Chain A
Amino acid sequence: MASKTILEVQNLTKYFTTPAGQLHAVDGVSFSIEEGKTLGIVGESGCGKSTTGRTILKLIEPTSGKIIFDGKDITKYSRKQMRPLRQEMQMVFQDPFSSLDPRQTVMQLISEPIIEHKLLKSKADIEKRTLELMETVGLAERYINVYPHELDGGRRQRIGIARALAVNPKLIVCDEPVSALDVSIQAQILNLLRKLQKDFGLTYIFITHDLSVVKYFSDDIAVMYLGQMVEKAPSDLLFEKPTHPYTKALLSAIPLPIVGKEKPQRQLIKGEITSPVNLPDECRFCKRCDVAADICKQGNPQLREIAPNHFVACSRV
């Protein structure tokens, strides 16, 4: 195989201890990504997709499992050992309101990673690079001296993207990077991220709840539910042949911008995601599932390959 695996995650788990019991945020997730590709991780609030992203970057310590980045097993790396690696793996955060220091100006925010990693020395170079990054992410130059609170969510998110791009990373974990943006701007950012990927061979982990965005953007898609991957397949295959009942429901819940023409029948799923604390040993989706049967209560199904590269965790398939 010509392309190289840049990241491999094996059986990653992250449990949090709460007064009520063990919270299974991420529960046995495995995947690998080749350099220059995009893996989309999709799921709803509380499915563990953000925790997965953060654990990979070791912003959160994993409970167990293995993270192999660029051939190095970084699972046990200390903060100090991680430091040089931070330049290669960056993150764009979900919430542009809490991820930016409110006391720094746009200039300070975007130049911070450049200074922190000693990429440029002279003040003029740093300013030039900052302006260049601002232009890349679509921030008008006049915002250079304003504070985040003066900007709307969309512009704040652009700062976050500029900060990640500033150090020329190899891998970017994008956690809902366009959810806060308007559609016309969202399309600009998606095109931009795609262009950067092409130009610099970036690898993305694209975490989102928005299936239409991942479809457009990802090579492979993994669907998560309550800390586990329930389906994983190449993007086109997943949309052509969604197999897990949850994937099907998720796909059919997207409101399509179509009026009057043929529209696929909606399948509403009942109920809401259950608590990830003290999970019983059964299929985690079975309480909301239309096709649940007795077998679903007997053990938690694991991912199986039902067709080449198409993995599903469902006892009914």
Chain B
Amino acid sequence: MNEDLVLQIKDLVVHYETEDADVHAVNGIDIEIAKKRTLGLVGETGAGKTTTALSILNLVPNPPGVIKQGEIWLDGENVLEMKPHELEHMRGNDVAMIFQDPMTALNPVMTVGDQIGESIMLHQGLDKKAAFEKAKEMLKMVGIAESRAYDYPHQFSGGMKQRVVIAIALACNPKLLIADEPTTALDVTIQAQVLELMKQLIREKEMSMLLITHDLGVVAEVCEDVAVVYAGRIVEKGTADDVFNHMRHPYTEGLFDSLPNLKQRGEELVPIQGLMPDPSDLPPGCAFAPRCPYATEACTKAVPALQSVEGSATHFVACTAYADPDFKLRRNRDGK
């Protein structure tokens, strides 16, 4: 594996096997994150974003989740072949995760100082008192007064709780931070504060981050690289500039057309037709074909592989339409 990569996922396939159906949540995802880079994994509900993240920690609930194939290389070690004690060491130490809902991520009957200290004790072998002192430092780092280390989670607002969760995640200086919709539950002004804080801490601690979100605005704010996921596959990836300003995949275009942000009032939004396919019953060929305005017969024949866009080293798209060298997305026509 490449030396500079903190995380490399190769051809990951995860199914949830239930009595009724075999849910194909992740269907061959490849991801690389280099040192100090932030990758945004964008997609809608059920695209397989969270399952991918849980796989990195080998935390996919089993049963019903089964990692069918693939390799996950974390700093030179394959997570999927780790023994339980190795996994335990890796989780929290090398990789930390922030969940969407700060309200349920914290223990309601433990002071926040103790909760931050707990992970420091566990991973860094400090005694309780030293760990609590370190916890206070961590609180200060995320912008909370040290004196509040003695308070319980219910005494904090949502934004403050998420800061506490960030403090816990960063307490052991992980190499990789996985943030699963970290600001979705927060108000916009608080979201802006928390995103600013995360950006600053990632820079200071020279961490890599995998940011999972459905919000393209948040991605633009934080991420250097972007991967767009649809029905368990990456349909387009590249630098933020590649994906935002030179997008190639019809689904990416559809996502941007759906955003009310930049539209004028009265202008019709252009939603993507139809619904996400049922992951237990994916259509043949390209999973986006049934909703795609450009789809042709050929799209239903085979699953398109990620291919470099015009020889770019960073920008890749998985779309059959580009077999025709003259094909362009609507927004890329008229010389835009």
Residues of A at the B interface (CB closer than 8 Å) are: 44-45, 138, 140, 152-154, 182-188, 190-191, 209-213, 215-218, 235-236, 249-250, 252-261, 266, 268-269, 272
Contacts and interface: CB of A to CB of B under 8 A. Distances in A.
B222 to A, nearest CB: 8
Contact of A44 (B188, B193, B269): B188
B215 interface: yes
Contacts of A218: 265
Contact of B271 (A45, A191, A215): A191
Contact of A269 (B45, B157, B189, B244): B189
Contacts of A260: 240-241, 244-245
Given A183-B258, A257-B259, A259-B243, 19 more contacts: A44-B187, A44-B189, A140-B275, A182-B44, A184-B255, A186-B260, A187-B260, A187-B270, A187-B271, A211-B188, A212-B260, A212-B261, A249-B189, A252-B192, A253-B192, A254-B261, A255-B221, A256-B220, A272-B160
A255 B241 contact: no
B45 to A, nearest CB: 5
B206 to A, nearest CB: 23
Interface size on B, as a range, is 35 or more
Given A152-B45, A258-B220, A235 B265 contact: yes
B196 A268 contact: yes
B265 A216 contact: yes
Q: Closest 7 CB pairs between A and B?
A: A255-B217, A187-B271, A187-B258, A216-B260, A182-B44, A257-B216, A44-B187
Contacts of A185: 44, 271, 275
Contacts of A182: 44-45, 214, 276
A300 B131 CA distance: 46
A216 B263 contact: yes
B262 interface: yes
A218 B243 CA distance: 30
Contacts of B243: 259
Nearest to A184: B272
A257 B244 contact: yes
Contacts of B265: 215-218, 235-236
Contacts of B275: 138, 140, 185
Greatest chain A CB density within 10 A among B218, B260, B263 is at B260
A271 to B, nearest CB: 9
The residue in B45, B190, B243, B271 that gathers the most chain A C-beta atoms within 10 A of its C-beta is B271
B324 interface: no
Contacts of A211: 188
B214 A259 contact: no
Nearest to A43: B187
20 contacts: A138-B275, A154-B45, A184-B254, A185-B275, A187-B259, A187-B269, A216-B267, A217-B265, A252-B192, A253-B189, A253-B191, A255-B192, A255-B215, A255-B220, A256-B220, A257-B217, A258-B220, A260-B241, A260-B244, A260-B245
